[in-house]
Amino acid sequence: MNGKLILEDGTVFNGKLLNNMKATGEVVFNTGMTGYQEILTDPSYCRQIVTLTYPLIGNYGIADIFMQSRKSFVNGFIIGELCDNGSNWHLETEISDFLTRQGIPCLYDVDTRAVTKHIRAAGTMKGIIVPEDAAKTEIDELFAVPIKKEVVSEATTPNVYKMENDGPHVVVMDFGIKQNILDSLHQWGCNLTIVPSNTTAEEIMNLNPDGIFLSNGPGDPKDIPDVIENVKKLIGKKPMFGICLGHQILGLALGANTYKLKFGHRGSNQPVKNLETGRVYITSQNHGYAVDEASLEGLPLKVTHRSINDGTVEGMRHTKLPIFSVQFHPEASPGPTDNTYLFDQFVSMLPKEE
């Protein structure tokens, strides 16, 4: 069945609809060459319509071990060629079956590079996926659906749970965490207690943590003021490490500002410079917001990492307290695993075993 993506500014891109499903959401693009399952199941994409620039999607199928969360949180998926005869020794499900089972509207056979070039020029915007013959009233109704702002409560864990280990006790504030981050912290020896996003500072301190981790997650960090207030109360109590949304939350809690980027950074091929060593790393990223460097003036925060593409802040650390954060995803390996030194850095701040 033929379908189309209509952007808020009226631009139309044609394709084919995998299922007869419609979608509304903020249209974003990811430039990675692999990792479509990780993208589909990363809760940071909650309620967005994700376009992939890589032209062939599905060629290595879907497997349980690559799931980043309990389900896919995206509102829609826009791709070039949909490959439904994947080949890989891990393959358990073809991508079309996965998308159907997860109820994800998918528009394929789309010129996704043209979509991306348009968004790069015009900025991220709302869009809808509809069948080719959708009536005007139907289109108007879909555009009238507001983009839900606070989405962390949808993505966080509903319950406290543990991933036990022999090392330091880390309380993980889950704002929509990726499984790879939990696995990395666990692999680095941390004994993890994962708590929902609305857990209070008092409740966290009652768990007697050695360190606190602030996770990635969806949406604008300014849409979760209660979380920011809560994190403020934890500053100075324990070593802290934040990734992506966790980095933005730390920034706001420490008095900095955040803002929306024109079209975000999404892909596993984003170069970042570590300003303290001068080394450049290829990183995996997925963010639409950033910490405003000018707002750090006068605060006890130092920029430690910078995007090579646009110069924006990709990491910072507190000048007096054991607190640091990165905007990119050090747990994801866009080929090399060079960025895992950040987990060493966090664990080295935590008390050693007796």
Ligand X SMILES: NC(=O)CC[C@H](N)C(=O)O
Binding residues for L-glutamine: 44, 217, 219, 245, 248, 286, 288-289
Of the ranges 140-148, 163-171, 212-220, 295-303, which one interacts with ligand X (CB under 6 A)?
A: 212-220
Q: Per the residue annotation, which of 26, 38, 314, 331 is the catalytic one? A: 331
Which residues are within 8 A (CB) of 273 and not within 5 positions of it... i.e. 6 or more apart? 279, 280, 281, 305, 306, 308
Burial class (CB in 10 A: 0-12, 13-18, 19+), 326: buried
Q: Per the residue annotation, which of 244, 247, 265, 318 is the catalytic one? A: 244
Interface residue with ligand X among 59, 193, 199, 216 (CB under 6 A) is: 216
* Sign of the CA dihedral running 215, 71, 74, 266: positive
User: CA nearest 270: which of 314, 331, 325?
Assistant: 314
Whole-angstrom distance, CA of residue 297 vs CA of residue 233: 22
Shortest distance (Å) from residue 162 CB to ligand X = 23
Q: CB-wise, 245 or 347, nearer to ligand X?
A: 245
Q: Per the residue annotation, which of 118, 265, 305, 329 is the catalytic one? A: 329
Which regions of the chain does DSSP assign to beta strands (E)?
2-7, 12-17, 23-30, 48-52, 56-57, 76-78, 81-82, 106-108, 125-131, 161-163, 169-173, 191-195, 211-214, 240-243, 258-274, 280-291, 301-307, 313-318, 323-326
Question: Which residue positions form the known binding site?
Answer: 44, 217, 219, 245, 248, 286, 288-289
Q: CB-wise, 126 or 287, nearer to ligand X?
A: 287
Q: CB-wise, 58 or 288, nearer to ligand X?
A: 288
Shortest distance (Å) from residue 267 CB to ligand X = 12
Which residues are within 8 A (CB) of 45 and not within 5 positions of it... i.e. 6 or more apart? 28, 39, 73, 74, 218, 286
Interface residue with ligand X among 127, 218, 239, 334 (CB under 6 A) is: 218
Q: CB-wise, 287 or 306, nearer to ligand X?
A: 287
Shortest distance (Å) from residue 137 CB to ligand X = 32
Shortest distance (Å) from residue 289 CB to ligand X = 4
Of the ranges 123-131, 161-169, 211-219, 227-235, which one interacts with ligand X (CB under 6 A)?
A: 211-219
Please indicate whether residue 138 is annotated as part of the active site.
no
Shortest distance (Å) from residue 310 CB to ligand X = 14
Which residues are within 8 A (CB) of 140 and not within 5 positions of it... i.e. 6 or more apart? none
> Binding string to ligand X for residues 36 to 55, with x set by CB under 6 A, is what?
--------x-----------
Please indicate whether residue 329 is annotated as part of the active site.
yes
Does 217 engage in binding with ligand X (CB under 6 A)? Answer: yes
> Binding string to ligand X for residues 244 to 263, with x set by CB under 6 A, is what?
xx------------------
Shortest distance (Å) from residue 96 CB to ligand X = 26
Dihedrals phi, psi of 54, to nearest 5 degrees: -65, 135
DSSP3 helix / strand / coil % (the chain, rounded to 5): 25, 30, 40
Q: CB-wise, 168 or 288, nearer to ligand X?
A: 288
Residue count, binding to ligand X (CB under 6 A): 11
Strands 23-30, 48-52: pairing kind: parallel
Interface residue with ligand X among 86, 105, 219, 251 (CB under 6 A) is: 219
Shortest distance (Å) from residue 186 CB to ligand X = 19
Does 58 engage in binding with ligand X (CB under 6 A)? Answer: no
Residue ranges in 267-326 that form contacts with ligand X under rule CB under 6 A: 286-289
Whole-angstrom distance, CA of residue 171 vs CA of residue 162: 9
Please indicate whether residue 106 is annotated as part of the active site.
no
Which residues are within 8 A (CB) of 206 and not within 5 positions of it... i.e. 6 or more apart? none
Reduced to 3 states (helix: H, G, I; strand: E, B; else coil), residue 189 is: coil
- For residue 83, give Cα distances in angstroms to 29, 79, 179: 19, 10, 26
**Tokens, residue 348:** 């080295």
Which residues in this chain contact ligand X in the complex, by CB under 6 A? Answer: 44, 216-219, 244-245, 286-289
> Which positions are catalytic?
244, 329, 331
